[in-house]
């Protein structure tokens, strides 16, 4: 199949008159700029962007997005939100999960993501007993991704303890209970069924040192993504320091390699940023959720400077489009340091939107356990067509289109979304 567009974002910049060819396996087999439209090519109705990976999602939390925005006690913080979230987690059945995940994944496609990484810890029946097939909830997500047409990376999560120095789970965490054997068995079964699966550790709160090392021993050298929530809350950093004598990222540092993705990594010291950069591990930022939960601000400029691979995650699903996440990322840094275009790097890259978008492109493949990503020969043939009539994009010169998309557009902005050579969303 051949596609042609007036303009496409290739190798970090807009290029004109681009021919895109998809092979029989749904991968890009040829991408060339400066080509007239051949008669057998379909002319795409706008400029073309590569999509992004949504590297951190808990699909079930879509059920409570927007419903936890009232303070009903003296203080509302991450921990009180978590109690409310457990209330939702205790109710959802596999059928309900499939339905709400299907709708969420369609929303994510509309938001410009064509691959979602599910950090999946809601495993067992409401009373905590395993389902007859212990992967019933995981299959619900697999079915939802297939129905929606989005790519899926599924990470069964090791979730064994309620906190630092506190063994076992709380009663309201009973649906999450797993250990290294469970997670490794789930990962292998999913992979045998053709699902792109890796593994995750919920956090150092929920996976103690012995659990982390037990899971790593099973994974060995396997080329799988390994994700963990790390240093999201200051209380978690303080507890870790007290119990393990080190901060979470300091403790993890000797174990990190390019398969690892640190989700949030909000509270980092300079030596921790250096250690992450040296290891090749990535950082998954979830700016909408981090703002919603009052987590704090990541040292974004330092992470960019250190060349750490970055990605975005919709996490609690309060935001479901990367345009808004990138806007949050840059704006919160502006408010913090009282300057503009904090993420830009002139003269090479004077656009904050472009620098952030490119950083996220670079982190996407690894975070999702894919060999390649983007508008590149060999990568899966995924694409976004920008609607030239979208509010905020009309009459904007091509050179400023990505800036306008991130900072000044609203409403639907993609007229077509393609995954593996197939149009999955239109209009
Ligand atoms: Zn999360």
| Cα-to-centroid distance, 229 and ligand 1 (Å) | 6
Q: Are residues 127 and 45 in the same domain?
A: no
Q: Are residues 208 and 157 in the same domain?
A: yes
CATH number (domain holding residue 31): 2.30.40.10
Q: Residue 158: which residues within 8 A CB-CB, separation 6 or more?
A: 178, 179, 180, 182, 183, 199, 200, 201, 202, 206, 207, 211, 212, 215
Q: Is 222 helix (H, G, I), strand (E, B) or coil?
A: coil
Q: Are residues 67 and 132 in the same domain?
A: yes
- Token pair recorded at residue 340: 């503009």
Q: Are residues 396 and 276 in the same domain?
A: no
Residue 318 has pLDDT above 90, yes or no: yes
Which residue's structure tokens are 């959802």? 92
Per the structure, the count of domains in the chain is 2
Q: Residue 50: which residues within 8 A CB-CB, separation 6 or more?
A: 9, 361, 373, 374, 375, 382, 383, 384
| Cα-to-centroid distance, 92 and ligand 1 (Å) | 18
pLDDT score for 68:
82
| Cα-to-centroid distance, 157 and ligand 1 (Å) | 11
Question: Which residues have a catalytic role annotated?
Answer: 264, 315
Query: Can you give 327-368 as a three-state secondary structure string?
Result: HHHHHHHHHHHCCCCCCCECCCECCHHHHHHHHHHHHHHHHH
Q: Are residues 30 and 88 in the same domain?
A: no
Q: Are residues 304 and 397 in the same domain?
A: no
pLDDT score for 275:
98
Q: Are the beta carbons of 19 and 40 closer than 8 angstroms?
A: no
If one counts every other C-beta atom within 10 angstroms of the C-beta of residue 339, the result is 9
Q: Are residues 13 and 99 in the same domain?
A: no
Q: Are residues 378 and 362 in the same domain?
A: no
Q: Are residues 24 and 142 in the same domain?
A: no
Q: Per-residue b/e over 22-50, b at no fewer than 16 CB within 10 Å?
A: beeeebbbebeeeeebeeebeebebbbbb
If one counts every other C-beta atom within 10 angstroms of the C-beta of residue 309, the result is 23
| Cα-to-centroid distance, 426 and ligand 1 (Å) | 30
* Burial (CB count <10 Å: 0-12, 13-18, 19+), residue 1: middle
| Cα-to-centroid distance, 117 and ligand 1 (Å) | 11
pLDDT tens digits for range 22-40: 999 999 999 999 999 999 9
- Domain final position from 368, 391, 409: 368
Q: Are residues 113 and 128 in the same domain?
A: yes
Whole-number average pLDDT of the chain: 96
pLDDT tens digits for range 194-229: 999 999 999 999 999 999 999 999 999 999 999 999
Q: Which domain holds residue 43?
A: 2-50+374-426
State the Cα torsion 70-76-82-83 to the nearest 10°.
Answer: -80
357 vs 290: CA distance, rounded Å: 19
Which residue's structure tokens are 């030239």? 388
pLDDT tens digits for range 382-402: 999 999 999 999 999 999 999
361 vs 305: CA distance, rounded Å: 16
Which residue's structure tokens are 């076992």? 168
- Token pair recorded at residue 261: 């993705």
| Cα-to-centroid distance, 27 and ligand 1 (Å) | 30
pLDDT tens digits for range 67-118: 888 888 888 887 787 888 888 888 999 999 999 999 999 999 999 999 999 9
Q: How far is CA 327 from its chain centroid?
A: 16
| Cα-to-centroid distance, 116 and ligand 1 (Å) | 13
pLDDT tens digits for range 345-374: 999 999 999 999 999 999 999 999 999 999
| Cα-to-centroid distance, 215 and ligand 1 (Å) | 19
CATH number (domain holding residue 149): 3.20.20.140
Q: Are residues 341 and 380 in the same domain?
A: no
- Taking Cα atoms as reference points, which of 249, 252, 228 lies closest to residue 237? 249
- Taking Cα atoms as reference points, which of 231, 301, 235, 239 lies closest to residue 272? 231
């Amino acid at each position: 199949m051949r596609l042609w567009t007036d303009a496409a974002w290739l190798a970090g910049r807009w290029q004109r008159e681009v021919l895109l060819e998809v092979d029989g396996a749904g991968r890009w087999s040829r991408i060339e700029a400066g080509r007239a439209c051949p008669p057998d090519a379909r002319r795409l109705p706008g400029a073309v962007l590569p999509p992004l990976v949504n590297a951190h999602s808990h699909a079930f939390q879509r059920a409570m997005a927007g419903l936890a925005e009232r303070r009903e006690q003296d203080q509302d913080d991450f921990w009180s939100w978590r109690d409310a979230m457990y209330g939702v987690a205790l109710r959802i059945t596999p059928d309900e999960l499939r339905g709400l995940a299907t709708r969420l994944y369609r929303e994510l496609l509309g938001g410009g993501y064509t691959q979602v990484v599910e950090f999946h810890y809601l495993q067992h029946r409401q009373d905590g007993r395993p389902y007859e097939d212990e992967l019933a909830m995981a299959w619900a997500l697999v079915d939802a991704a297939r129905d929606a047409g989005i790519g899926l990376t599924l990470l069964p999560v090791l979730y064994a303890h309620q906190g630092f120095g506190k063994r076992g789970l709380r009663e309201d965490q009973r649906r999450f209970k797993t250990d290294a054997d469970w997670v490794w068995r789930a990962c292998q079964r999913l992979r045998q069924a053709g699902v792109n699966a890796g593994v995750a550790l919920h956090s150092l709160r929920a996976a103690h040192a012995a659990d982390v090392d037990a899971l790593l021993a099973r994974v060995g050298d396997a080329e799988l993504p390994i994700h963990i929530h790390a240093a999201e809350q200051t209380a978690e950093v303080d507890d870790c320091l007290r119990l393990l004598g080190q901060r979470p990222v300091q403790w993890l540092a000797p174990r990190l390699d390019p398969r690892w993705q640190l989700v949030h990594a909000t509270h980092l010291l300079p030596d921790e940023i250096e250690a992450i950069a040296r290891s090749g591990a990535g950082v998954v930022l979830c700016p909408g959720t981090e703002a919603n939960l009052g987590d704090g601000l990541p040292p974004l400029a330092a992470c960019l400077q250190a060349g750490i691979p970055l990605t975005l995650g919709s996490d609690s699903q309060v935001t479901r489009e990367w345009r808004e996440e990138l806007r949050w990322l840059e704006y919160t840094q502006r408010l913090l340091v009282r300057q503009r275009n904090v993420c830009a790097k002139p003269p090479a890259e004077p656009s904050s939107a472009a620098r952030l978008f490119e950083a996220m492109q670079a982190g996407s493949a690894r975070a999702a356990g894919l060999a390649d990503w983007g508008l590149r020969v060999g990568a899966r043939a995924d694409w976004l067509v920008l609607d030239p009539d979208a509010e905020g994009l009309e009459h904007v010169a091509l050179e400023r289109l990505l800036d306008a998309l991130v900072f000044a557009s609203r409403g639907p902005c993609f007229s077509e979304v393609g995954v593996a050579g197939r149009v999955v969303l239109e209009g």
